[in-house]
Amino acid sequence: MDEFQEILQDFLVESFELVEKLDEDLVELENNPEDLELLNGIFRVAHTVKGASSFLNFDVLTHLTHHMEDVLNKARHGELVISPDVMDVILESIDLMKALLETIRDTSADAGIDVAECVLKLDKITNRSEEVKSSVVEAAPVVPIAQTKIIEEEITEEEAIHSEGEPDYDNMSPDDLEAEIEKLLQERQAEDRAKREAKIAAGESVLEAPPEPEEEVDSSLEPEPEPVVQAVAPTPAPVKQEEAKTEDAKAGAPAKRTPAAVEQTIRVDVKRLDHLMNLIGELVLAKNRLIKINDDVEERYEGEEFLEELNQVVSIVSLVTTDLQIAVMKTRMLPIGKVFNKFPRMIRDLSRELNKKIELEIAGEDTELDKSIVEEIGDPLVHIIRNSCDHGVEMPADRVSKGKEETGIIGLKAYNEGNQIVIQIDDDGQGLDTDMLKNKSLEKGIITEKEADNMSEKEAFGLIFKPGFSTAAAVTNVSGRGVGMDVVKTNIEKLNGIIDIDSELGVGTSMKLKIPLTLAIIQALLVGVQEEYYAIPLASVLETVRISKDEIYTVEGRSVMRLRDDVLSLVHIGDIFEVERILDSSEHAYVVVLGLGTSKLGLIVDTLVGQEEIVIKSLGDYLKGIEGVAGATIRGDGGVTLIVDVVALMQMAKDVKATPLNESSSATSISVEKTKASDYTVMIVDDSKTDRTIMRKALEPIGITLIEATDGQEALGILKAGEHNFDAMLVDIEMPRMDGYTLATEIKKYNKYKKLPLIAVTSRTGKSDRMRGVESGMVEYITKPYSADYLSSVVQRNVNFKAEFL
């Protein structure tokens, strides 16, 4: 049973892969009915599926594919002309085949789908072609085109059989293989016999056979110089050749013959790749941490010899990590052709349905994208292309009257641009009419009159992405329901991508989807606000500017600034993320200019930390859907930093009221009425136990509460914990971890502690030391040694100690 399941899985994976390419090939075939290469490829799919399904006892599928194979076989022998009608039946049968495969995938059985009707149609075609066939054969000597076709086919035939067999063999049991070879030989002999007659008749036209690609060389060489000899005894030679080739193919296949089939690939479960990607993510985080530690060490042990070595190791590790990350990212990459494949068929169906003539030109289908993006990009593209067909390209008659070609062309191309991939959809249709767009939107109440007047051309184009907008006069089966384009926008934005529209009335429309290569690891700009940090995806950052507070103006309750010739609306990141303003903001601020498509927004932050590579992690189910937050990442220090969702942020900015930046009144220090001496609290910060004891002894007599800290860091921690309301602090200057000056500077950053008296108690007596003390915000400077009374009086003065408590 397990073995069967395994085979079934292989069969399904292979079949779906084959079918995927099929649609494209078939449409191509309709345009080039003479392209035997294609026809053979299609026949191969039907044949492979038939073979495997009969082996797996899927009778319905076998039945269907068998009849498909018949029709296709006729077609590739030139006994049947692929007309649109025939193609309709073939496409229908392929759809059925897909449905059957899906049923098998879901239920492991192929019951429940009726193929009888389609089989009947297929049979009809087969039978009809019987008559055609005889006429073709009879006509062969007379009609040169038919001759060439047959010969051409004869040549490709051989190749077809080889390549037809190759993919199969790996999955076949030895018996099946034997049978297959036997079958192929018989087929070939029979065909050869049939062809020989035709060829003798057409012998002189052999040389006209179009030059085939290199791989054809040995087979086409033989018939070319001595076509007649070949015609007399052709059977043994090709057969031998074929056998040899089959074996070759099994043994790794020489490149000269079929380079495409030798692709050395291995099929890996996506889960494993995802796991690998996660591990790389961890490694990137560890790398960031290592770099940070390296910087710290460099600072502390400047000039030490081992630093050089450490530096080297760190840079190697970071280099290799980056390479590794790229390598793994590449393994997850799929060519976008996988998505593009379904469009030729779609365009064909649409143009028939809409009675328009549309041609699709695809370019850059080899461009690679992360698997997860490839999966997500399909639906938006379907919507866009449908839209282009329905609204963009005009009816053939209209086109002619406008002096355009009758057939409209939709171009679909993909290419890389920096760290992004661009998918461009062009049509040469009627273009977007901005006035019409505005009027429609006004009619539907999507925008106000005032908005319409102020709209730029680009913004007007953007209207088509508004929910509820549809320009189609009539709702058709294809589009016009007013859903679709807004879904397109949300889907693209979900991928961190942006849409750019360009259009010229009467000439055409061009849409560019710009999408990042991968979703998991991105470059981000880290910004600080108060004590918090946020990461902004670098792809949405246009520039950063440092401004002073008086460059910010308020217009209609919104902050704006002048950026070169533009007016940029501003929003403070603290207003978006409800950040408590505990630190005093400085005179200057930084503005991060965010760009998303055509809209821009300035985000005010307190500090710019720098650029970093971050790994996007989800906040999990419990916290999902927080507006403005796209996820989280883990920083070098092990802390978590939230990632800004630029799309949502732009939306939120519209509703946020600007709070004045200079507001600092909120943090008035809480002054509780002192009722006894112990209500006064003073912190002693000194690394020496002796010094602390001396200070304690000096202050204990007046009965105030004393808290001790051994260095700046600890003191700051106690202060921030907020358990005590300090009235003054006695600070030593020389301390490990954080010295007195730094501590004072840090404390003064908090609005709350602006007025907290800091008293330096130190043995440093130099003038410059005193100056530094004052600069960092110390109010008194006591030099050691001092008398207990002096210290006590200084403290009493600074805490406004009430004399009655003494």
Q: Would you name the residues annotated as active-site residues? A: 47, 69, 387
Q: Closest separation between CB of residue 268 and other proteins, Å?
A: 23
Among 1, 266, 672, 721, binds other proteins (CB under 8 A): 721
3-state secondary structure 637-659: CCCEEEEECHHHHHHHHCCCCCC
Q: Torsion over CA of 342, 344, 345 and 346, rounded to 10 degrees?
A: 80
Among 578, 655, 673, 804, binds other proteins (CB under 8 A): 578
- For other proteins, give the closer residue by CB, 315 or 618: 618
Q: Closest separation between CB of residue 623 and other proteins, Å?
A: 5
Q: In what order do the strands lie in the sheet with 358-363?
A: 358-363, 408-417, 420-427, 508-516, 498-504
Q: Which two tokens stand for residue 513?
A: 């989807």
Q: Closest separation between CB of residue 574 and other proteins, Å?
A: 10
Asked if 622 touches other proteins (CB under 8 A), the answer is: yes
- For other proteins, give the closer residue by CB, 570 or 632: 632
What residues numbered 48-87 form the site for other proteins, per CB under 8 A? none
Asked if 634 touches other proteins (CB under 8 A), the answer is: yes
- For other proteins, give the closer residue by CB, 652 or 779: 652
Asked if 632 touches other proteins (CB under 8 A), the answer is: yes
Contact 387, 476 (CB under 8 A): no
What residues numbered 520-539 form the site for other proteins, per CB under 8 A? 532
Contact 759, 794 (CB under 8 A): yes
Contact 539, 419 (CB under 8 A): yes
Asked if 623 touches other proteins (CB under 8 A), the answer is: yes
Asked if 397 touches other proteins (CB under 8 A), the answer is: no
3-state secondary structure 402-430: CCCCCCEEEEEEEEEECCEEEEEEEECCC
Question: Nearest-CA neighbor of 740 among 763, 767, 707?
Answer: 763
Asked if 626 touches other proteins (CB under 8 A), the answer is: yes
Q: Closest separation between CB of residue 624 and other proteins, Å?
A: 8
Asked if 621 touches other proteins (CB under 8 A), the answer is: yes
Alpha carbons within 13 A on the beta-carbon side of 590: 17
Asked if 628 touches other proteins (CB under 8 A), the answer is: yes
Asked if 654 touches other proteins (CB under 8 A), the answer is: no
Give the binding range for other proteins (CB under 8 A) out of 118-126, 617-625, 658-666, 790-798: 617-625
Question: Nearest-CA neighbor of 671 among 663, 681, 662?
Answer: 681
- For other proteins, give the closer residue by CB, 230 or 641: 641
Contact 13, 267 (CB under 8 A): yes
Among 629, 650, 735, 794, binds other proteins (CB under 8 A): 629
- For other proteins, give the closer residue by CB, 596 or 619: 619
Look-up of token digits 């679909």: 412
Give the binding range for other proteins (CB under 8 A) out of 238-246, 639-647, 670-678, 690-698: 639-647
630: helix, strand or coil: strand
User: Which burial class, exposed, middle or buried, applies to 456 when counting CB atoms under 10 A from its CB (0-12, 13-18, 19+)?
Assistant: exposed
Asked if 670 touches other proteins (CB under 8 A), the answer is: no
Among 117, 170, 282, 323, binds other proteins (CB under 8 A): 282
What residues numbered 731-790 form the site for other proteins, per CB under 8 A? none
Q: Closest separation between CB of residue 448 and other proteins, Å?
A: 29
Asked if 679 touches other proteins (CB under 8 A), the answer is: no
- Rounded to whole angstroms, the Cα distance separating 418 from 792 reads 67
* Backbone phi, psi, residue 315, to 5°: -70, -35
- Rounded to whole angstroms, the Cα distance separating 642 from 536 reads 9
Provide the angle, in degrees to the nearest 10, between the axes of the packed helices 788-798 and 689-699.
Answer: 70
Asked if 620 touches other proteins (CB under 8 A), the answer is: yes
- For other proteins, give the closer residue by CB, 306 or 622: 622
Asked if 275 touches other proteins (CB under 8 A), the answer is: no
Q: Closest separation between CB of residue 632 and other proteins, Å?
A: 5
Task: Return residues touching other proteins (CB under 8 A).
Answer: 282, 285, 532, 576-579, 617-623, 626-629, 632, 634, 638-642, 721, 723
